[in-house]
Structure 1
């Protein structure tokens, strides 16, 4: 859903950056690249293509201590691969081994094969791929279970994995948690119309009104338009897009300019997956989870509101569950406030999956 928003926001700097801007970018990339170095004796830093679902897909594994709990991320978008946020989440790797996967249509996986080499693009195929990635990670790292952390559109797949295969995961953590309600909930749409009316944006209001509230009737382009209007009509969300997402893309030490263009092309290509979520009803699929269940949501999220996440959370039955709001955060909450997200992981999740005492909440370095 966010591909067009990010691509449009990045277009100016990628179209024809001035020499001075390129020089500044290179200095920032070098600095952030140094920040990413893993020098600990028991650390792990590896990346490459793994055969998943019939195509080669990019997977990286990073952490300062191989004995730490393993996190497998399911990124959002569709196809907004999380590798660009690596400098912002470097401290996470001191306490967890982080596995990041560029799913089909995303990041380096898209770049390697192009639009004609991605195979089937559907939520069902992404789910099958995610199961295969899980098995690969368990075997490669020699662990029985991993912590499943899903963000944004990735939480659609994340909930299904956690619900259906608790034997593979020590806990589920959802952030920017999507709650699909079978098309019944139009609160995000109604809130958007109200913001547009209040701000006097008549052209945008006409566009949103013309789409109507029935997401099942939207084209992929309308899904993109909706996401763009939601993000740009909310000051905090728009600020996060510019200062967190776009800056992370532009200064990523892991991506050349060509790599960034491919990254954005993959997001636009993969938006065809989004409408497949319309018919999902999380309550029908099940509210029983046989593993610890956590939701850490941006308190001001207008794209995946905390109220909807809380309603589903309240109905969840799990051995342990917890819900927390991340203040001063809308969508992309874990990347806008990575230190707060880490604190939640250290105080609520890590002690549970390791059996170790709670980490000092004021010492996350």
Structure 2
């Protein structure tokens, strides 16, 4: 397997540190996973929480009348809670959090949540039974219930809510309705005027296609033109063409052709079973089919005032959800305090693309806003 060479080389390096011969052989035996289960166990062991005040939970809770999965992790449960509301709709962050989240857990109790119709929550429930409830209103209500459950479960008046992409819509709605529940709202890849964002994304694609003299891209993009204009809704098929080329030209992950690496990382998630991993794509398509039409017609620039602190993390090269539109909206937004952090080497997947800067920014700009929370 592809793991074998990587871990054989690792064992050689360990051998030089502890002695050659038998020690190196033992290292190779311990570090060479033969299958997904063994590779996942290595990751789980590395990130296992061992501190006296630590917390490491992975469980189903009842939200909105169905079982929904959460992961709750941190080295000190007295730290403030940070709920990450994932994007998509249906593109979960729990199964890649093993890569980007470990540092966060020293400063926050971090909660990953697979939303209705997504990830392991999708795999746990009957999709046909859940289908009638796949509405923006129900998703907002689920988010409110999730925050309420955390506040009650951990005896906290406030938490941090971090939304990514689609999750920024849900997060903004909670921040508007319940600012007293939040230390701050953190928007990553913030959605604002989505019809305009879609049009700008198509234009980015076309400009890049012409620079590259990519005849196929130009032809496919022309086939969906005019894109996102007039009263005709954007179809899933048209959006997939726009996203295909946007991904190819680095508008989703900077200087990469899409999110293949992140998608592959899901298969190494300690929280996910084989069945969960197998259904990630199916769940994502299910959620898109149910919610996409509403998502790409949203105009969140109507929100001009929030009564809690606001922090935005924006990728300079994000054309999946326009970061320039988000910055313009943020400039006009009224809030008790606000801060915009630019990630110069990121597009849409800030936490994965620049995990170090994400951690430093959370610790520097977000953590101090929980002034009444105990400091580690």
TM-score by length of 1: 0.86
- Contact 1:150–1:174 at 8 Å: present in 2 too? yes
How far, CA to CA, are the matches of 2:70 and 2:355 in structure 1? 21
Q: CA RMSD in A?
A: 2.5
Aligned to 2:350: 333
Q: 1:181 to 1:263 in 2, by over 3 A?
A: closer
Aligned to 2:190: 177
Identify which of 296, 313, 317 aligns with 1:278: 296
How far, CA to CA, are the matches of 1:68 and 1:313 in structure 2? 28
Aligned to 1:223: 239
1:39 partner SS = coil
Q: 1:66 to 1:168 in 2, by over 3 A?
A: same
How far, CA to CA, are the matches of 2:349 and 2:375 in structure 1? 26
How far, CA to CA, are the matches of 2:284 and 2:143 in structure 1? 18
How far, CA to CA, are the matches of 2:308 and 2:221 in structure 1? 39
Aligned to 1:66: 77
How far, CA to CA, are the matches of 1:186 and 1:166 in structure 2? 32
How far, CA to CA, are the matches of 1:184 and 1:248 in structure 2? 28
Aligned residues: 341
Matches within 5 A, 1:123-162: 123-162=136-175
Q: CA-to-partner distance for each residue in 1:60-100, whole Å, 9 max, x for gaps?
A: 21111111010011100111111112222111111100111
Aligned to 2:16: none
Q: 1:207 to 1:292 in 2, by over 3 A?
A: same
Aligned to 2:266: 249
Aligned to 2:95: 84
How far, CA to CA, are the matches of 1:257 and 1:27 in structure 2? 13
Matches within 5 A, 1:93-132: 93-119=105-131, 120-132=133-145
- Contact 2:249–2:257 at 8 Å: present in 1 too? no
2:259 partner SS = helix
Unaligned ranges ≥5, structure 1: 1-16, 360-365
Unaligned ranges ≥5, structure 2: 6-32
Matches within 5 A, 1:37-52: 37-52=48-63
How far, CA to CA, are the matches of 2:234 and 2:193 in structure 1? 16
Q: 1:352 to 1:118 in 2, by over 3 A?
A: same
1:330 partner SS = coil
Identify which of 236, 251, 265 aligns with 2:254: 236
Q: 1:281 to 1:28 in 2, by over 3 A?
A: same
Bigger CA radius of gyration: 2
Give the stretch that moved more between structures: 172-181 or 233-242: 233-242
How far, CA to CA, are the matches of 2:58 and 2:267 in structure 1? 21
Matches within 5 A, 1:340-355: 340-354=357-371
